[in-house]
Amino acid sequence: MTKPDSSPGLRTDHYYLTTPIYYVNARPHLGHAYSTIVCDAIARRKRALGIETWFLTGTDEHGQKIERSAKLAGKTPLEFADKISGEFRALWDRLGLSYDDFIRTTEPRHVRGAQHLFATLRDKGYIYKSTYTGQYCVSDEAWVDVPPGAPCPDCGRITETVSEENYFFKLSAFERKLLDFYEANPGFMQPESTRKEVISFVRGGLKDLSVSRTSFSWGIPVPGDEKHVIYVWLDALANYITAIGYGSDDVQDQKKFEKFWPADIHLIGKEISRFHCVYWPAFLMAAGIPTPKSVRANGWLLFDDTKMSKSLGNIVRAETIDEVLGADALRYFLLREIPFGQDGSFTFDALVRRYNGDLANGYGNLVSRVVNMMHKFFFGVVPDSGAPTETETALRAAAERTITEFPVAFDEFNFSEALKILWTLVAETDGYLTANAPWKKPADRSDADHETLQARVLANAAESIRIITALVYPILPASAAKVWQQLGLGEIQDAAKKTFLTEIKWGGLKPGTKFGEPAPLFPRAEKDAIERMENLEKQNNASAVDAAAGKQAEPMHAPAATSVDPTSAPDATPGEHTATPTTVAPHHTGTPVETATVHPVPPEIASARLATGATDAPAGTPLTPETHATPAAEEEKQFITIDDFTKVELRVAQILVAERIPKADKLLRLEVDLGYEKRQILAGIAQYYEPEKLIGRKIVIVANLAPRKMRGLESNGMLLAASLPPDGSPVLASFLEDVPLGARLK
């Protein structure tokens, strides 16, 4: 086993880095873009330093969840995966990301390599066949150690009891080996919080791991036993080696694998640390393959302090920011605003503030001033700067300090600090320019002396800009390319290929260099920029909801409402009522696991007014549980006080998942999003609504009802619906206006 280098940033001959391969359960959002942009910045800097670099990204396309999602969408699993994988690749191309390879786990090269890895593990005695009964989380594609009917401890979704013949990997045999490995290689996993979490998990004891499934078919067949498919995580993790030739008979593939493996860094989301830091090194140790040098976990991207995810309904698309402010604005914000390895918040307001402050008014304004004055005073040709004064000496010292300090922070993946260091030089250069004011000639200064000052100041300011631009190129590649041309230095990509960052030093901008034409770099974002981005996201979210529901956009109307209490339906099992409150917060985005954060109801969520009389439901339809009021019951109804009414918490929710419950003709299992948390609700409406047509629909629920159990599943709330004569058919309550999730009805 090859011992990993605990300092992956210091490798000098070649460099292999990977993003997570993103799970094709949903289209890409800003959280996916963040991880990939970080990898892109690292790759660009490595190449510009003359290091042969291989940057891998891609999509994970197998598993039970994809099979079910495809069926719900009326597509084959491959058609479903083709569409979402294509959206990831199209976005990476739109953002100009410089990946060298895009792996799909449905590709023949990956299938071949994954089967080779499985066969190797089996031949070495680390895989055996047995039967297993346990709880499986389809959302996370993971076995979990919880009682039947309990939610997944990671994502909160209700697990399924699965009993089937499986192949098992002897993970228990690697408990001591992994702990010794972690101790010998303290730089293997970072940040420290991830290291502590993983070590604690392994010290808690490892059980053998199921690495095949037989209850569904969408996966890679186990070689020699095709009724089994390889467990999606063994399949997915293998991408890091199959993409560079593992399992291939081709000589060139084998040479490529020998050159680039072990990987220098796997960049991942912190929620999948266990798979990358426990399962993956154990698989590799068992197969006799060197382990990767480093696994680095980035934090979550929060939107308004809540983790960004499709299931929470708070995703932001990278396309929106690219369209309004440009891709470089997004890159700068993510790497400057979020200390790598920590959670970071995203808001449109913070994005625009950072864009205007650092880019438009800072770097962009500095470049514009110098380039325009160079054209105005010296016809766009860099003059001889002459002998330096004390101010030039100070500027040069600041630039040389930046040249030394910036790479240290960057190569430690402390991008925020690196940019802070670099923007200190931006500020010092701007201050130097302002202090010398080459545009202003005092009355007592001769023309010759003023021209000498102009030449000295503009030449030195331009040289400082050259250094800033070279260093920032990996982070702002498109903008740096524009500045490089304005400085008369040609194509920055050509300079990067010539490894220009290896020789960066003061004095590279030579007298006589002809500047390019000045051009806007970062036009100031006006007040409507935030509104434009918010409107684009609203339009996108509305389209996504309609697409999920399989229909064209249309207003959702509702009559006066009645609570739908599923426990009144015949499918309810007597004696299964429980008063123990449970909050379920499911979430899954990215490579198969991401975990949502549950937050209290935000006080700023607005109240909502229910639209009445908007369907054919008669006015005055009673508000009752789904047992539906009889005439006799209506005659006996009594008035309630306002205090009684305020005890009932009615809130707006959106249906994310709707599916029938086996052997329960009237019950549907719903997962709904309240904006601040997720709920599982069982509703006795299966005879009146097709599950797939409910997805994406906004409804009203009783949010503070004590949980109840039916068919072994827990229900946390009731739906509101009108009860229509003559048979009491329910019509779900909804709204004429666009109402935010979690809004309370008053």
Superfamily of domain 554-732: Nucleic acid-binding proteins (2.40.50.140)
Is residue 371's pLDDT more than 60? yes
Is residue 573's pLDDT more than 90? no
Give the span between the Cα atoms of 560 and 41, in whole angstroms. Answer: 55
Which pLDDT band, with edges at 50, 70 and 90, does 607 fall under? very low
The pLDDT value recorded for residue 727 is 64
Q: What are phi and psi of 630, to 5 degrees?
A: -90, 160
| Residues facing residue 58 across a β-bridge | 103
pLDDT, greater one: 555 or 306:
306
Rounded to two decimals, what is the model's pTM? Answer: 0.71
Span of 26-30, 41-45, 84-88, 253-257 with lowest mean pLDDT: 26-30
Please enumerate in sequence order all residues whose Cβ is within 8 A of that of 401, keeping only pairs 6 or more positions apart, or say none. Answer: none
188-198 residue pLDDT tens: 999 999 999 99
Handedness of CA 289, 290, 291, 293 (dihedral sign): negative
Neighbours of 339 (CB within 10 A): 17
Is residue 310's pLDDT more than 90? no
Is residue 329's pLDDT more than 90? yes
Place of tokens 């991408």: 239
Is residue 346's pLDDT more than 50? yes
The pLDDT value recorded for residue 531 is 93
Q: What is the mean pLDDT of the chain?
A: 83
Please enumerate in sequence order all residues whose Cβ is within 8 A of that of 303, keeping only pairs 6 or more positions apart, or say none. Answer: 30, 314, 315, 316, 345, 346, 347
681-723 residue pLDDT tens: 998 888 888 887 788 888 999 988 888 877 778 888 988 888 7
Which pLDDT band, with edges at 50, 70 and 90, does 737 fall under? confident
Question: Mean per-residue pLDDT for 469-477?
Answer: 98
Q: Kindly report the CATH number that applies to the domain delimited by 347-503.
A: 1.10.730.10
Q: What are phi and psi of 411, to 5 degrees?
A: -70, -15
Is residue 534's pLDDT more than 50? yes
- Cα Rg, the chain, nearest whole Å: 30
Please enumerate in sequence order all residues whose Cβ is within 8 A of that of 690, keeping only pairs 6 or more positions apart, or say none. Answer: none
112-130 residue pLDDT tens: 999 999 999 999 999 999 9
Place of tokens 């979690």: 742
Query: Are 488 and 382 spatial neighbours (Cβ–Cβ below 8 Å)?
Result: yes
Place of tokens 């999948």: 272
Is residue 132's pLDDT more than 90? no
The pLDDT value recorded for residue 215 is 86
Share of the chain above pLDDT 70, in %: 82
The pLDDT value recorded for residue 608 is 39
The pLDDT value recorded for residue 623 is 39
Ordered by start, the domain boundaries in the chain are 8-299, 347-503, 554-732
Which CATH number does the domain 8-299 belong to among 1.20.1260.10, 3.40.630.30, 3.40.50.10420, 3.40.50.620? 3.40.50.620
Candidates 416, 409, 270, 422; CA nearest to 333 is: 416
